[in-house]
Amino acid sequence: GAVVSQHPSWVICKSGTSVKIECRSLDFQATTMFWYRQFPKQSLMLMATSNEGSKATYEQGVEKDKFLINHASLTLSTLTVTSAHPEDSSFYICSAYTGTSGVLTDTQYFGPGTRLTVL
């Protein structure tokens, strides 16, 4: 099946620093990648939709200048949390979408997630 990787799997950083998280689709090309954030005991909240070669579309309430998304190729998207603060500590999950809705039942494949802790 389709595999999506994330790196790093966990990261601890100091307040005020920036952290980059990579999301890669390993054996397929993803037309779209989604970035989610999940706080403890809560569900996944969509942060932004990323399409290769174009600007990301952010959900309401998500600061685009704080959460920088770059989708340089059909297999790589990165999320950079700039000037991180303790309230940004969360589980960040990406997913890659093949865009073949109706052909495959599960066309959105999730990465394993990145646990970010900001001290």
In the complex, the residues that contact another protein under the rule CB under 8 A are 32, 34, 41-46, 49, 91, 93, 95, 97, 99, 101-102, 105-108, 110-113, 115
Task: Name 92's Cβ contacts closer than 8 Å, sequence gap at least 6.
Answer: 6, 21, 35, 36, 37, 38, 79, 81, 113, 114, 116
Minimum distance from residue 106 beta carbon to another protein (Å): 4
Element (H, E) at 96: strand 90-97
Of 67 and 97, CB closest to another protein: 97
Of 38 and 82, CB closest to another protein: 38
Minimum distance from residue 99 beta carbon to another protein (Å): 6
* Count of other CB atoms within 10 angstroms of residue 58: 19
Of 15 and 42, CB closest to another protein: 42
Minimum distance from residue 44 beta carbon to another protein (Å): 5
Quote helix, strand, coil % in the chain, to nearest 5: 5, 50, 45
